[in-house]
Structure 1
């Protein structure tokens, strides 16, 4: 279940979910994605996402340009997560399958916010459980924090002397498209069918 958010994360949630996309984009004929928008944020979605440098399951250093080569659903979580992360990744994987049935190839991306435990091998195995195209990424503390800041996510590990600590974190999924960046923020309460329908709208207008 979603754990406590920081004040900053809660404020971001209110901005993202409190403003319906059509209020910002509905009258903008220059926006090809206007009919697809369901969320908006102050400053625009261009403020979310951007360059990152992380490590893939093979231990290779990769950038966002290496990873986001097709429409992607980017999710920040951790493999020891007892409930939310597996459910969200399963939802995203099912949405990926629904989209594939419609002829659209989408890539689930899992970025850990717990690099201490989530080695390249661990994140790779975790991602592959959900979908054969899913990409698992980790990195140094600095690399992971930089990626998290780029996407405006929140996470905070509980203080513990053992390896069984939990990590509070935000639970958005980001629909990211090559050449367009982050085009939508997908809430946790959306079903796989709703996620697929939203993603399809953007993909078909790209």
Structure 2
């Protein structure tokens, strides 16, 4: 069956509003985060470690806040301080909403990173940052729950640590929503946090 050119034009003009509406709906529903979005994750569902004051902390403690969980160690030469400095910048970019952005730092080097030293280290970035320091067994269990990789790397008479540099971000309802790569800018990270605060 053939459609005459005049009818074809009328048919397409009649469809145009529907096509535009569909395009708008698609743009609304597929607007993406700058970080990797996570939905219905089978990992990172629980967290249970003592903080630097010895209190057992869980994800439920931070409900109402967007929480950024980062695994690192204090003698990290550049990756960890860069990640924490970015978190400080994100909090500043958020302005008043920065009060609802919480950073949780989990050490993967509990042999050297004592609670007192971790607290002093985080205070140099932001006193509101939470430090978690578990036993080697507790840290291993937590890292497994988050699918985080870490290992000791000998360096002569001492050692350093290889570790995953991803930041895991929960929305204010305690649901894991984002995996933030180390290279993401503070501006893009802050924009993602604003979206999560609006959820």
- Residue 19 of structure 2 corresponds to which residue in structure 1? none
Q: Is the 8 A contact 1:113 1:155 kept in 2?
A: yes
Q: Which has the higher strand share?
A: 2
Shift of 1:45: 5.0
Residues 9-158 of structure 1: matches in 2 within 5 Å? 35-38=31-34, 39-40=36-37, 44=39, 46-67=41-62, 70-101=65-96, 105-158=100-153
Deviation at 1:67, TM superposition (A): 4.7
1:60–1:99 Cα change, 3 Å:
same
Match of 2:164 among 157, 165, 170: 170
Contact 2:69–2:106 at 8 Å: present in 1 too? yes
Contact 1:36 1:198 in 2 (8 A): no
Q: 1:145 to 1:103 in 2, by over 3 A?
A: closer
Any gaps of 5 or more consecutive residues in structure 1? 1-25
- Scaled by the length of structure 2, the TM-score of the pair is 0.77
- After TM superposition, list the pairs within 5 Å mapping 1:179-198 onto structure 2: 179-198=173-192
SS in 2 for 1:87: helix
Residues 158-193 of structure 1, C-alpha deviations (whole Å, 9 max, x = no match):
14684x310001101111124242111111111111
Max radius of gyration: which structure? Answer: 2
Counterparts of 1:87 and 1:45, CA distance in 2: 29
The count of residues paired between Structure 1 and Structure 2 equals: 173
How much has 1:52 moved relative to structure 2?
2.1
Q: CA RMSD in A?
A: 2.5
Q: Distance in 1 between matches of 2:63 and 2:161?
A: 26
Deviation track 1:83-134 (CA, whole Å, cap 9, x = no partner) reads 1100111001110121134566201111111111111112111222111210
- 1:198–1:67 Cα change, 3 Å: closer
Q: Quick check: 2:63–2:173 contact (8 Å CA) kept in 1? A: no
